[in-house]
């Protein structure tokens, strides 16, 4: 087997340089731990960017995928199969609302579908522009990127051929001023994930819903990262009792398998006509079987309550740490950011890795912590116990 250094050299020679060269070459995982090609173990506090909901090697996921791939691995959209129907029905049941589902392979594709729905709604109702949030993230394809409010990744690829107006996230007054009867849709994350796990003020989404109802704009909730138990509820918008018109999902839905969904609730579910959208791999039998196993396991094992309980304890333990580099913690459930007093998240990520923990420098002053939903309080405590020394080491590098 190749060493980590050998794999990094081969990676650098074979791949486009957009990711740089990742520092760790992983070869296997079990539960919430992973091992690299040199045999070094780490506690995984990233979970594939809030994706590996059940951790690594979970028997329910392995069994569902193995059974399905041995039975029927692919059909295309020319034929239907029961796992995709079961998944669509299950998602609508969890939402408690009538609607229609389009299954995708990723979050970006789910947001592309939502964008097409919004554009069609706008053209049929005479509405010409969209509203999204500054520092929001919805994907890197050209459509999704047009909605992404991060200047550094958006501007090099513009213009985008559509009118998208950006407002400060969490500012209801700014949103109210931006959304008129000419607005087709508002695209927002219930908490900004790539922005640094930034939650809005309490009541913000209630105000957003009221603004959209008043003006007739569609409310699109991008829950690519925040859904499927990540915050202690099936969907983060449920914390405020607000129902979007369109909901996008991915990441944690498949537990590591590529699957996403765009769900139109109420009238939004009927916007597409035959031929308006499609996907060869979307709703793949293996991916949908994996998603069903994830949903079944979360429900059977009471993981929503577990996430709420251990997530609250985790946040309290982080908040109790006094260190010159640590400003505090934000987020909900098992979706947190350790906020720094100055830019230095890269140094913290590196020091944590040396100490045996995988974390993510999501913003210069914020470290994202999104472990598998099955992580234990004891595993989380091992990180919080080690964090002061990690911060000490990071400070030396700054």
Q: Which residues are annotated as a binding site?
A: 107-108, 137, 140, 222-225, 279-280
Among candidates 169, 148, 334, which has minimal Cα distance to 236?
Answer: 334
Tokens of 162: 């559509």
Strand duo 33-36 + 26-30: pairing: antiparallel
* CB neighbours of residue 232 within 10 Å: 23
Annotated binding site for N(2)-acetyl-L-ornithine: 140, 279
List, as one string, the DSSP characters of 247-271: EEE-GGGTBTB--EEEEEEGGGGG-
Q: Report the C-alpha gap between 230 and 303 in whole angstroms.
A: 10
Annotated binding site for pyridoxal 5'-phosphate: 107-108, 137, 222-225, 280
DSSP type of residue 71: H
Terminal C-alpha separation, the chain:
36
Q: Report the C-alpha gap between 295 and 290 in whole angstroms.
A: 9
> Cis omega before residue 195 (within 30°)?
no
Long-range interactions of 22-25: CB distance < 8 A, separation 24+: 23/350, 23/353, 24/353, 24/358
Which element (helix H / strand E) includes 204? Answer: helix 204-215
Alpha carbon distances (Å) from 50 to 46, 112, 186, 255, 362: 6, 20, 24, 9, 12
Residue 334 CA, distance from chain mean position: 12
Tokens of 167: 């407002």
Please list the active-site residues. Answer: 137, 222, 251
Q: Report the C-alpha gap between 115 and 117 in whole angstroms.
A: 5
Q: Report the C-alpha gap between 45 and 67 in whole angstroms.
A: 29
Q: Report the C-alpha gap between 384 and 102 in whole angstroms.
A: 40
Q: Which residues contact 204 (CB under 8 A, 6 or more apart)?
A: 170, 172
Among candidates 49, 25, 32, which has minimal Cα distance to 254?
Answer: 49
Q: Report the C-alpha gap between 388 and 398 in whole angstroms.
A: 15
* CB neighbours of residue 220 within 10 Å: 30
Tokens of 136: 């929001």
């Amino acid at each position: 087997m190749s060493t980590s250094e050998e794999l990094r050299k081969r990676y650098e020679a074979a791949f486009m340089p957009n990711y740089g060269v990742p520092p760790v070459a992983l070869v296997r995982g079990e539960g919430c731990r992973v091992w690299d090609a040199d045999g070094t173990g780490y506690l995984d506090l990233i979970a594939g960017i809030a994706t590996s909901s059940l951790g690594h090697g979970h028997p329910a996921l392995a069994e569902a995928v193995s059974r399905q791939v041995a039975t029927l691995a692919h059909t295309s959209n020319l034929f239907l199969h029961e796992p995709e129907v079961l998944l669509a029905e299950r998602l609508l049941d969890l939402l408690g609302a009538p609607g229609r589902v389009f299954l995708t392979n990723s979050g970006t594709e789910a947001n592309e579908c939502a964008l097409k729905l919004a554009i069609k709604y706008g053209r049929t109702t005479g509405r010409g522009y969209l509203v999204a949030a500054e520092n929001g993230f919805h994907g890197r394809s050209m459509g999704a990127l047009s909605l992404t409010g991060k200047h550094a990744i958006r501007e090099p690829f513009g213009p985008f051929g559509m009118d998208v107006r950006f407002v400060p996230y969490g500012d209801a007054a700014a949103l109210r001023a931006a959304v008129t009867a000419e607005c087709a849709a508002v695209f927002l994350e219930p908490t900004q994930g790539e922005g640094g796990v930034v939650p809005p003020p309490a009541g913000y989404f209630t105000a957003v819903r009221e603004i959209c109802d008043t003006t007739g704009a569609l409310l699109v909730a991008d829950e690519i990262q925040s859904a499927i138990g990540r915050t202690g509820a099936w969907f983060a918008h449920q914390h405020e009792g607000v129902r979007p018109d369109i909901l996008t999902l991915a990441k944690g839905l498949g537990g590591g398998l590529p699957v996403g969904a765009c769900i139109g609730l109420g009238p939004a579910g009927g916007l597409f006509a035959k031929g308006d959208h499609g996907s060869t791999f979307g709703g793949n039998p293996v991916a949908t079987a994996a998603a069903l196993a994830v949903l079944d396991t979360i429900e059977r094992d009471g993981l929503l309550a577990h996430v709420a309980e251990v997530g609250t304890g985790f946040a309290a333990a982080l908040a109790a740490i006094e260190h010159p580099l640590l400003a505090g913690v934000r987020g909900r459930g098992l979706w947190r950011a350790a906020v720094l007093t100055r830019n230095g998240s890269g140094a913290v990520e590196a020091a944590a890795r040396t100490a045996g923990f995988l974390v993510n420098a999501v913003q210069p002053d914020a470290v994202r912590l999104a472990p598998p939903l099955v992580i234990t309080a004891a595993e989380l405590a091992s990180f919080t116990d080690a964090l002061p020394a990690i911060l000490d080491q990071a400070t030396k590098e700054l």
